[in-house]
Amino acid sequence: MSKLILSLLLGLSVFSGCAWSAPTGDIRQSGFVYCVNGTLNTFNPQLATSGLVVDTLAAQLYDRLLDVDPYTYRLMPDLAQSWEVLDGGATYRFHLRNDVQFQHTAWFTPGRNMNADDVVFSFSRMFDRHNPWHDVNGGNYPYFDSLQFSDSVQSIRKLDSHTVEFRLNSPDASFLWHLATHYAPVLSAEYASQLSAIGKQEQLDRMPVGTGPFQLSEYRTGQYIRLARNPSYWRGVPRLQQAVIDLGVGGTGRLSKLLTGECDVLAYPAASQLPILRDDSRLRMTLRPGMNIAYLAFNTRKAPLDRPEVRHALALAINNERLMESIYYGTAETAASVIPRASWAYDNEAKITPWDPPRSRAELAALGIKNLHLRLAVPVTSQAWNPSPLKMAELLQADLAQVGVTVSIVPVEGRFQEARLMAMNHDLTLTGWSTDSNDPDSFFRPLLSCAAIASQTNYAHWCNADFDALLQQALLSQQLSSRIDDYDRAQQMLAQELPILPLASSLRLQAYRHDIHGLVLSPFGNSSFAGVYRDAREEP
């Protein structure tokens, strides 16, 4: 491979300081520009926690064994055309499609179709700590590590070329849902073998090969990603030749690009921009309920935040109604639980923490808390759960100042954001979570289990053995009523301990130009570009 291609793909090209925008000259006829604010650490969602690779890229580059219907929230076939649940939920058998090709790229030409070897490779890499690929590029698989799947998966076996069987150490009613998330792509074992032969294993996650509708064509760090359609896509050739993901501008700059036509789609517009979007006849907008949560995490390893009563007292200072008005403009509801209301396990008895500054001051004084100074870490990138993180942080800062608590805001951005957010010197972290799973386990364990501390998704650093045991118990039964009872108790425990303060569950917003069609907005925060097309005949 030439040095030029490598520099483009690995983002090593050098640019001048002049103004820049995504290449749009040939896009109008052959593709579209999707504008989103985000950073990229890897092209493999196995290694990611959330953000750009999971929310945007994964649906374009890869497929999974199972999919989730964006309207009914039901499991659907994807690379597995059928499956069986055996041994009361301890064994899962998948029957694969036989006509799926991997992408032909500048760095890989497949010699066969997708088969059971690829599925075994993809999951053994994550779940088997002795697999030679496990430690490549760090050996951290945050989502599945937080679920302790390395300890719960007994074996992954190829029964024949198109049948794979997973055996677990105990039943897990959430297992299928986790395999349907974008954290579980099917990779090419053949590609991995070729990289091993030349000692370039790290390229597996940097120069991706999947079975998805689009493949990587060009990448400029912090600027744009160009995707070319996969002409061999098993569901049918995507309607547009290419898609450019513009990473170059945030905030009002992205809105300006949408208004001028430099962007065709604007992901996660700020709620404050809705009047402009609604009043422009050239634009269209979609809103859907989202499976997401914005929350404030208390660092429970640091005094005085290690005391639940202190956390409750601070929570009383937060003006939730003002957050709804100033950040979401009617596009979210105040959260009473760590799981959104759309989840089947949502506890309808959950209570929103009231706003009561006098009581907050009195309780802090009674607890002997004086001159408290807290550091609040805030990822600056807008997300499905929070379109304006820094503005929200400033509102929280003002609320806590009213009860005598000084808050210093620490903006966090760029690569390895998760590691910095997990640093023990932060007292508070303003963040959130979204998942493409309707199973509540996809919220509880990644955010609050003991294992999730090591996987850098538990920003509260909270570990409670009784809570973990309750989550594990909820997985043992295939009966929904039994699981609901367990998750009700889990939510009650969280309400008492308050390691995190739920703030908002947001609608999923997307704005786009009038001539763009076929972009189905998913409540899980991701959308496939395969069906997108442009109809220039449309009049605004």
pLDDT at 11 over 50: no
Q: What is the pLDDT of residue 19?
A: 35
Q: What is the pLDDT of residue 480?
A: 87
> pLDDT band at 5, cuts 50/70/90?
very low
Reported pTM: 0.84
b/e code 217-230 from CB counts within 10 Å (16+ = b):
bbbbbebbbbbbbb
What three-state secondary structure class fits 534? strand
User: Average pLDDT, whole number, for the chain?
Assistant: 89
Whether 182 and 72 have beta carbons less than 8 Å apart is answered as no
Sequence ranges of the domains in the chain: 63-211, 292-507
Average pLDDT over residues 252-266: 89
What three-state secondary structure class fits 286? strand
pLDDT at 26 over 70: no
Average pLDDT over residues 205-223: 96
- Give first-to-last CA distance, the chain, whole Å: 46
Bridging pattern class, strands 373-379 and 428-434: parallel
Residues 6+ away with beta carbon under 8 Å from 10: 206, 207, 219
Give dist(CA 323, CA 306) in Å, integer.
26
Least confident range from 84-93, 190-199, 217-226, 414-423: namely: 414-423
Average pLDDT over residues 53-79: 91
CATH fold match for the domains 63-211 and 292-507: no
- Class of 63-211 in CATH: alpha beta
Average pLDDT over residues 375-390: 88
Summarised one tens digit per residue, pLDDT across range 67-115 is 988 778 789 999 999 999 999 999 999 999 999 999 999 999 999 999 9
Summarised one tens digit per residue, pLDDT across range 333-354 is 999 999 998 888 999 999 999 9
Backbone φ, ψ for residue 284 (5° rounding): -130, 160
pLDDT at 6 over 80: no
Least confident range from 118-127, 167-176, 334-343, 380-389: namely: 380-389
The CATH number of the domain covering residues in 292-507: 3.10.105.10
Residue 55 C-alpha from the chain's centroid: 5
